[in-house]
Structure 1
Amino acid sequence: MLVLFETAAGFAVFKLLDEKKIQNVENMAEAFLTAESAANVVQLSEFHKFHDSAEALAASVSINEGNMCKSLKVLIKKVIKKELHKQLLVLDAKLGNSIKNKFPELNIVSSSHVSELIRCIRGQMNSLIPGISEKESSAMMLGLGHNLARYKLKFSPDKVDIMVVQAVKLLDDLDKELNNYVMRAKEWYGWHFPELAKILTDNTSYINTILKMGFRENASTTDLSEFMSEELSDRVKEAAEVSMGSEISDMDICYMRYLCTEIMELTAYRSHLHEYLTHRMVSLAPNVSILLGELIGARLISHSGSLLNLAKNPASTIQLIGAEKALFRALKTKKQTPKYGLIYHAELITKAPTKCKGKMARMLAAKVALATRVDAMGEETNYDLGINHRVALLSKINLWNSGKSHKISGQSKHFTPQSYISDNRAGQGHYSARQDSTITGIKKDEDQDLENNTPSKKIKKDEKPLITEMVESPEKKKKKKKKN
């Protein structure tokens, strides 16, 4: 009875010396407590060592898929010629089926007893396989594990979409927190200087004014020209002199400044995070970034889960990503479905005329569907596709905004300006009055009379015209009988 054993260094085939040991699973571990006792149970028959890490990776991938690699086939052929045993113990049942299909004379066995036996052999692997030290074996296992994980995940440091997903979610959370903090600061400081919020509509200028000025009484001596114009600075100083706000203590303004300092730190971190997200999107999905912008492209990837999942969606789905609630509500109530999702805020759609926004959304979604597939599965980073599509869409927008007529789709197949000019030169482009009406009988005769310069016959008054207008006589209204 033979046992197939797979290691990071190569394939090994052991001969089972005592078959009674595997019948009792509970006592099997006692037979492998030491190297001497393990040598009495199994003996190495053949060992094939991998030449390099590439061969080890290819063999591991084949085994994980349940297939036989070339080195394993060669090893089993050697064992069959050398040994007279016709029974082979295998850990993986799928691999056993592949071996059975290739070598029908072998009897393949895969069970819980085999799993326990291979686990025990793995514990004494360094002593049972000569020529491989423990340090070398651990290094081979570590290298093979990294290579196998890299192969499965197809890891690339420039294409980590999970970083984009987390960054855009954090950016949205920061926007909400900053909005809450700024509204709280305005409401809090508004008790002391309520007129300031009406003068300064910019949140950054408002927070910087609180940090630098403090009490409204300090407005006349504070230089506010760093973050606002002189006109706004004069208005702030004038409003501070006649303010209707209440008085506050030093402790109150101290904690207000703590809040404003926190707001400025979060604002600075948000700007750095936005810059980081821009760089990540350019490296991850350059064509999508050119068409939609970094922020909208990142939101589409975050909504889909990954760039690969986004690439699997058709253009119609990409167009409505973010508008699922409105879509299902419209389908339920049998009303018009939405035309846009997250891509509504894209620059190309905002530039389009109001009547053409839906058409531009469809066109942009189709181009984005192509761009995501190139970014997700393209081997090289190339910006040409996104640039060409963006130029084409911008030219379409300029055509709509100019109001000029454009060719109908499919017209150029049958009509070209060159053919029209050549027809006119050949005398085939003249006007024909026959094309003006669908009434064939009279028009044909009239056209022939016009061409032959002969007067047409007059219709007599008594003759009825061919086409008569049917005028319905109005029905007489029934008079209601008056009740006596």
Structure 2
Amino acid sequence: MTSNDAAAAGWFAVGDEETPADRVRDGSANAPADWPAAAVDAGFATDEDDYYAKLREATVAATRAAVDERERADDRQLLHAVRAMDDAERVANELAERVSEWAGTLFPDAGTGVDGCRALAERDPDGPAEERVVSLATRVADLAAEADELAGFIESRAPVAAPNLAALAGPVLAARLISLAGGLEPLAKKPSGTLQVLGAEDALFAHLRGHGSSPKHGIIYTHEYVRGTRPEDRGSASRALAGKLTIAARIDHYSGDYRPELEAELDERMRTIRARAPDAAGGGGDGE
């Protein structure tokens, strides 16, 4: 490769609508070369030190652009939304307890929980203490309403970001799995056995330390196919569900096309597992 050829192939040989960072992210070369010398020959850098300084600047800019792009991806928006929803619900419930205790000293008919706060928020306060209680109750009602809005956002966005996962797990559980894994790509790369126990890390670590049995399921317990299956068969149900969810996550990440046959296959598998019940098949389950 001549010096001119190397300069033309180098990351620093930017076009009219490119930046060095663009070339670092998207460019390639057919063979290695003496890039510092080529950059100096091309007039891009004054010397080798200048070349490496500009290379560092370009790589930092390329990395920052990649991070910004990744954070705006649909699965990352789901991750943030479900965490925000959970935080809003948790704080609303915690504050609702405080409001109930306080309101009970001022309003004999005060209700409890978030619903009690919604009712209090409609009152006309009389005096500084009642103003503060009504104001705090209003904040709780607003937080609960925000959690509902976030749930609506998740319901609408999960089928777009992960159509197969959302169809099998439901939008909120799909978002929780993505959140626990740190994104759709990390979730797609996990084996089904790991997905099966996501959310049960404390129990898993206790088991590894010899302080408990191995967990059979994590957050997927909230799925009807696990929660609604008799205890003897929940191990099989969890494995079947986790297997299909893993396939769904991989299809969503690597191709993104919707595969309705996954739902049919999961439904059939669950019918087989639930048929093990004595009143359905005259036999027992595989145990947990």
* 1:95 matches 2:32: yes
Within 1, Cα distance between the matches of 2:97 and 2:107? 14
Distance 1:180 1:350, change over 3 A: same
Deviations 1:226-279, CA, capped at 9 Å, x for gaps: xxxxxxxxxxxxxxxxxxxxxxx6111122221122222222222111111111
Quote the offset at 1:320 in angstroms: 1.1
Query: Contact 2:181 / 2:187 at 8 angstroms: preserved in 1?
Result: yes
Residue type at the aligned position of 2:267:
V
Within 1, Cα distance between the matches of 2:26 and 2:163? 37
2:96 corresponds in structure 1 to 182
Residue type at the aligned position of 1:404:
A
Distance 1:260 1:352, change over 3 A: same
Residue type at the aligned position of 1:180:
E
Distance 1:194 1:362, change over 3 A: farther
- SS for the counterpart of 1:352 is coil
Deviations 1:395-432, CA, capped at 9 Å, x for gaps: 23652457222899xxxxxxxxxxxxxxxxxxxxxxxx
Q: Which has the larger radius of gyration?
A: 1
* 1:192 matches 2:106: yes
Query: Contact 2:200 / 2:218 at 8 angstroms: preserved in 1?
Result: yes
1:291 to 168, 181, 186: 168
1:384 corresponds in structure 2 to 260
Within 2, Cα distance between the matches of 1:258 and 1:334? 46
1:253 corresponds in structure 2 to 130
Quote the offset at 1:316 in angstroms: 0.7
Distance 1:256 1:159, change over 3 A: same
Quote the offset at 1:292 in angstroms: 1.7
Deviations 1:38-68, CA, capped at 9 Å, x for gaps: xxxxxxxxxxxxxxx9xxxxxx69983432x
1:399 to 266, 271, 275: 275
1:118 corresponds in structure 2 to 42
Higher helix share: 2
Matches within 5 A, 1:233-252: 250-252=127-129
2:56 corresponds in structure 1 to none
Query: Contact 2:110 / 2:120 at 8 angstroms: preserved in 1?
Result: no
1:66 to 29, 40, 45: 29
1:332 to 187, 196, 209: 209
| Structure 2: runs of 5 or more not aligned | 18-22, 47-61
- SS for the counterpart of 1:196 is coil
* 1:373 matches 2:287: no
Residue type at the aligned position of 2:27:
N
Within 1, Cα distance between the matches of 2:223 and 2:26? 48
- SS for the counterpart of 2:4 is strand
Within 1, Cα distance between the matches of 2:241 and 2:183? 20
Within 1, Cα distance between the matches of 2:270 and 2:42? 65
Sequence identity (%): 24
Distance 1:288 1:330, change over 3 A: same
Query: Contact 1:164 / 1:302 at 8 angstroms: preserved in 2?
Result: yes
RMSD: 3.5
TM-score (norm 1): 0.47
Paired residues in the alignment total 255
1:323 to 178, 188, 200: 200
Deviations 1:284-309, CA, capped at 9 Å, x for gaps: 11221222222221111111111111
TM-score (norm 2): 0.75
Query: Contact 2:99 / 2:137 at 8 angstroms: preserved in 1?
Result: yes
1:302 corresponds in structure 2 to 179
- SS for the counterpart of 2:122 is helix
- SS for the counterpart of 2:209 is helix
Distance 1:362 1:344, change over 3 A: same
- SS for the counterpart of 2:42 is helix
Distance 1:377 1:113, change over 3 A: closer
Quote the offset at 1:212 in angstroms: 3.2
Higher strand share: 1
Deviations 1:183-210, CA, capped at 9 Å, x for gaps: 121111111235634xxx5532x12332
Quote the offset at 1:111 in angstroms: 6.0
Matches within 5 A, 1:207-286: 207-214=117-124, 250-286=127-163
Query: Contact 2:158 / 2:175 at 8 angstroms: preserved in 1?
Result: yes
Higher relative contact order (CA 8 A, sep 6+): 2
Query: Contact 1:292 / 1:347 at 8 angstroms: preserved in 2?
Result: no
Residue type at the aligned position of 1:291:
L
| Structure 1: runs of 5 or more not aligned | 11-52, 54-59, 68-93, 97-109, 123-147, 216-248, 409-484
Quote the offset at 1:335 in angstroms: 4.5
1:203 corresponds in structure 2 to 114
Within 2, Cα distance between the matches of 1:278 and 1:63? 35
2:50 corresponds in structure 1 to none
Within 1, Cα distance between the matches of 2:124 and 2:186? 52
Query: Contact 1:165 / 1:305 at 8 angstroms: preserved in 2?
Result: yes
Moved more, 168-177 or 157-166: 157-166
Quote the offset at 1:120 in angstroms: 4.1
1:220 corresponds in structure 2 to none
Within 2, Cα distance between the matches of 1:181 and 1:196? 15
Distance 1:356 1:194, change over 3 A: farther
